[in-house]
């Protein structure tokens, strides 16, 4: 029975502060939602004695130890070797993994070196955990006293897929299904974490339920989890309804969905095409729209115009408007949106113009001031925003607000 989990992260880059480890929080979140208890998170550098120390103490504290990192082909990737030594088993080549690695390199025309074969070596008796997103598969070892060591890639997107595809289904089975869990994720726009916490205070939770937040600017997710089987289902739907009562207008989606995916879906439902005119976001809104597979069906183009001249030339903004109201103004935002709509012959046009900083601000229009416009045929609208923080944060915040502005216009 798996109840207690220890998470290990390895890598010199964690010990020198060059990298903030997000993997362990991600893994802890997933395990917590399955009703397991994370008792410790241990991080050590890529040296043999430290890894051995972490393995030993992890397996003392937990029924299951899950580690990430150190599966690569280079000399400082020691995980398989150290695990083999710890369990007193030889390293063994997995022929299937080796063949797949070789094929992968050949198909890319990359030089094949013996180093790469290192990634096909695992402690004898280990189960392979496939890594569909990368070259380094992980592994699972069962100890004599029915404890488990699992090891995954340290690359976040590879780790996530390995968790989803292999680890979580296996855990659900190995822990006797664990306790049944109902979970719901609300994607939030327009509230800070502490404001959200405040607003939800009156929502009283039964002891078997839990609300948790995850903020990854500009993204904010609220998660409701209820432990227990079918008998809790009524509680669950009552609670989600109650949450919607309090924060409904701030919820833009439910589940693992992005704002750009929702906008894309709305555009497709309407059969509309989109054109963008970006200034301070420099192309980032276009990137977010087009990172969604299939976006070429509704995305026409984006004109990223940094200078006044290019706003006149490519978007037909009037020189008089720029002179009278400035590039960051309601009037310019409207003309940009109307201009790109007309030029691109699209169904809806969105414009963003603002001051991302660190320079360019004034008392009247401080850094973070952004105007956005939306134009449809015969109808347009503009909104003013003020974002806090450095250049990167203004760009991220403006892209999120722009997509949300577009979403509300499409509803």
Write out the binding residues for a second copy, residues 12-71 only, by CB under 8 A. 12-22, 24-32, 37-46, 50, 53-54, 57, 61
**Spatial separation of the C-alpha atoms in residues 310 and 318, rounded to whole Å:** 11
Question: Can residue 278 be called a binding residue for a second copy (CB under 8 A)?
Answer: yes
Cβ atoms of residues 126 and 86 within 8 Å: no
Cβ atoms of residues 206 and 235 within 8 Å: yes
Q: Which is nearer to a second copy, 73 or 170 (CB)?
A: 73
Please tell me whether the peptide bond between 103 and the residue prior to it is cis, using omega within 30 degrees of 0: no
Cβ atoms of residues 168 and 183 within 8 Å: no
Q: How far is the CB of 384 from a second copy (least distance, A)?
A: 13
Question: Can residue 123 be called a binding residue for a second copy (CB under 8 A)?
Answer: no
Q: Which stretch binds a second copy (CB under 8 A): 90-98, 145-153, 239-247, 381-389?
A: 381-389
Q: Which stretch binds a second copy (CB under 8 A): 86-94, 318-326, 371-379, 387-395?
A: 387-395
Q: Which two tokens stand for residue 407?
A: 């979403």
Dihedral sign, Cα of residue 287, residue 292, residue 293, residue 298: negative
Q: How far is the CB of 175 from a second copy (least distance, A)?
A: 17
Cβ atoms of residues 78 and 70 within 8 Å: yes
Q: How far is the CB of 231 from a second copy (least distance, A)?
A: 23
**Window 388 to 407, contacts with a second copy (CB under 8 A):** 388-392, 395
Residues in contact with a second copy, shown as a per-residue x/- string from 177 to 216 under the rule CB under 8 A: ---------------xxxx-xx-----------x-xxxxx
Q: How far is the CB of 281 from a second copy (least distance, A)?
A: 7
**Spatial separation of the C-alpha atoms in residues 78 and 86, rounded to whole Å:** 12
Q: Which stretch binds a second copy (CB under 8 A): 81-89, 142-150, 165-173, 383-391?
A: 383-391
Residue 20 DSSP code: -
Q: Which is nearer to a second copy, 77 or 331 (CB)?
A: 77
**Window 302 to 331, contacts with a second copy (CB under 8 A):** 302-307, 310, 313-314
Residue 311 DSSP code: H
Q: Which is nearer to a second copy, 127 or 208 (CB)?
A: 208
In the three-class reduction of DSSP (H, G, I as helix; E, B as strand; rest coil), residue 183 is classed as strand
**Window 334 to 373, contacts with a second copy (CB under 8 A):** 343-344, 356-360
Cβ atoms of residues 61 and 6 within 8 Å: yes
**Which residues does residue 127 pair with via DSSP β-bridges, in sequence order?**
140
Question: Can residue 228 be called a binding residue for a second copy (CB under 8 A)?
Answer: no
**Which residues does residue 183 pair with via DSSP β-bridges, in sequence order?**
225
**Window 140 to 179, contacts with a second copy (CB under 8 A):** 155
Taking the C-alpha atoms of 36, 41, 44 and 49 in order, what is their torsion angle to the nearest 10 degrees? -60
């Amino acid at each position: 029975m798996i109840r207690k989990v220890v998470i290990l992260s390895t890598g010199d880059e964690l010990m020198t502060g060059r990298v903030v480890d997000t993997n362990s929080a991600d893994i802890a979140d997933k395990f917590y939602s399955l009703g397991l208890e994370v008792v410790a998170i241990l991080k050590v550098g890529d040296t043999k004695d430290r890894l051995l120390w972490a393995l030993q103490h992890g397996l003392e504290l937990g029924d299951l130890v899950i580690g990430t990192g150190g599966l690569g082909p280079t000399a400082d990737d020691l995980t398989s070797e150290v695990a083999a030594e710890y369990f007193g088993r030889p390293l063994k080549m997995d022929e299937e993994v080796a063949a797949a690695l070789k094929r992968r390199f050949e198909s890319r025309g990359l030089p094949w070196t013996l180093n790469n074969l290192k990634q096909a070596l695992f402690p004898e008796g280990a189960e392979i955990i496939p890594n569909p997103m990368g070259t380094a598969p992980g592994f699972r070892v069962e100890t004599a006293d029915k404890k488990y060591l699992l090891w995954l890639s340290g690359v976040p997107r590879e780790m996530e897929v390995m968790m989803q595809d292999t680890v979580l289904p296996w855990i659900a089975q190995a822990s006797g299904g664990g306790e049944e869990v109902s979970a719901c994720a609300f994607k939030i726009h327009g509230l800070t974490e502490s404001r959200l916490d405040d607003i939800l205070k009156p929502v009283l939770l039964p002891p078997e339920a839990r609300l948790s937040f995850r903020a990854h600017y500009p993204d904010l997710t609220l998660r409701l989890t209820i432990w227990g089987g079918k008998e809790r289902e009524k509680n669950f739907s009552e609670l989600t309804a109650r949450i919607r009562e309090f924060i409904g207008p701030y919820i833009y989606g439910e589940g693992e969905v992005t704002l750009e995916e929702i906008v894309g879906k709305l555009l497709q439902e309407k059969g509309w095409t989109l054109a963008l005119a970006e200034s301070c976001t420099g192309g980032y809104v276009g990137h977010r729209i087009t990172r969604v597979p299939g976006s070429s069906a509704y995305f026409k183009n984006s004109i990223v115009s940094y200078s006044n001249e290019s706003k006149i030339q490519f978007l037909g903004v009037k020189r008089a408007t720029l002179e009278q109201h400035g590039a960051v103004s309601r009037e310019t935002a409207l003309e940009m949106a109307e201009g790109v709509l007309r030029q691109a012959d699209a169904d809806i046009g969105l414009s963003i113009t603002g001051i991302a900083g660190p320079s360019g601000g004034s008392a009247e229009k401080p850094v973070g001031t952004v105007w956005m416009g939306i134009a449809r045929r015969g109808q347009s609208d503009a909104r003013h925003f003020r974002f806090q923080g450095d250049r990167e944060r203004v760009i991220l915040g403006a892209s999120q607000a722009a997509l949300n502005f577009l979403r509300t216009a499409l509803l």
